[in-house]
Amino acid sequence: MPSFTLRPMKAADKPVILDIASRTWEGSDYLPFVFDDWLADRDGGFVAALLDDRVVGCGKLTFLTPVDAWLEGLRKDPAVSGGGLAEAVTRHFLRRLAGRPDLRSVRFSTYVFNERSIAVNERLGFRMRRAFSCKTWTRKRDELSRVVCPEAGRVSVVRDPAEVRRFVEASSWLGAAGGLVYEGWRVYPYSWDLFRSRYLDPGRCLGVLDVGRPAGLAAFAHDTRFDETYVKLAFVEAADRETANALFDALFEYVKDHARDDNEIEMILPPGTRIGGWAAERGYKSWEREDDFLVYELPLPLLAGFARGG
């Protein structure tokens, strides 16, 4: 097995990491768009993995809140054979986290067919918490003119904190999601402060109102760092199919208003929600199968073992 060494990532490593990313996920890796932000993150950690003094991979530790740790960005040069990089990077971060008595969670997400990473992390003690379905709606710019949104006019930006909070916290969506908020491939622990700051205050909550109260609500993030229009649908709940269709129409209109050559809405769908069938009717598709988005969590008592060099 190769012997990897780790060090903090440097700005000078960017060309190598971008080259690795260009050979990952058929060239659709998001890492080139977040590299600079990750390098500037002083709370978490961004490390380069070296083999024979050559950068061959990386990994990222992010604090989604001051007490919730998230592992992401694990990459290895596809030309490097043998294992060990994932375990070396994960152990490195877990040793650091072991000194945090206030920590509430350590999690990561992965694709269901990422079997090697899953096996490594299960061996380290991570346990799958939930399985969801990643569904996407995609259109090229020249296709958007054919997207008809007749019900978008029923939808408005919702700004009433009390009504939004009441609706979200009573929703079947939040319950099915296990009290977590799935924004793209990051998973945030729900709190009202987080929901308000990420979606309500920036004007990213769209609602269908019935006598001033939401009958349906969609909350989303628009990550403008990407060279495509990339909308991450974090919450959607509707009383009926018609209300859901109005919300989808409004989201499609939003994409049309911000169109680039490539356009995508991504939804991480909790199991057992009615919205899934309605989304499928409107063109949201899974990749290779359902239940393909997995969330793993480390039982916190296991961290003590890593403090001792485990």
* Together in a domain, 13 and 155: no
Asked if 214 and 208 count as a contact pair (C-beta separation under 8 A), the reply is yes
Residue 239 pLDDT grade (very low, low, confident, very high; cuts 50, 70, 90): very high
* Together in a domain, 190 and 99: no
Expressed as residue numbers, the domain containing 154 is 133-292
Stretch 169-177: mean pLDDT: 95
* 37-46, 66-75, 77-86, 179-188: least confident range: 77-86
User: Which of 121, 107, 124, 110 has the alpha carbon at shortest distance from 70?
Assistant: 107
* Together in a domain, 157 and 228: yes
> Which residues lie across from 51 on neighbouring strands?
54
* Together in a domain, 239 and 277: yes
- Helices 115-124, 85-97: crossing angle, 10 deg rounding: 40
- Helices 14-22, 31-40: crossing angle, 10 deg rounding: 150
CB-CB neighbours of 207 under 10 Å:
27
> For 183-230, how does the pLDDT look when each residue is reduced to its tens digit (9 = 90+)?
999 999 999 999 999 999 999 999 999 988 999 999 999 999 999 999
* Together in a domain, 120 and 197: no
* Together in a domain, 276 and 137: yes
* Together in a domain, 60 and 118: yes
Query: Given this model, what pLDDT does residue 134 score?
Result: 96
* Together in a domain, 144 and 214: yes
* Together in a domain, 162 and 193: yes
Q: What is the CATH number of the domain that holds 127?
A: 3.40.630.30
Return mean pLDDT, the chain. 95
* Together in a domain, 142 and 288: yes
* Together in a domain, 126 and 139: no
* Together in a domain, 237 and 96: no
* 132-136, 294-298, 303-307: least confident range: 303-307
Query: Given this model, what pLDDT does residue 310 score?
Result: 57
How many structural domains does the chain have? Answer: 2
> For 241-287, how does the pLDDT look when each residue is reduced to its tens digit (9 = 90+)?
999 999 999 999 999 999 999 999 999 999 989 999 999 999 999 99
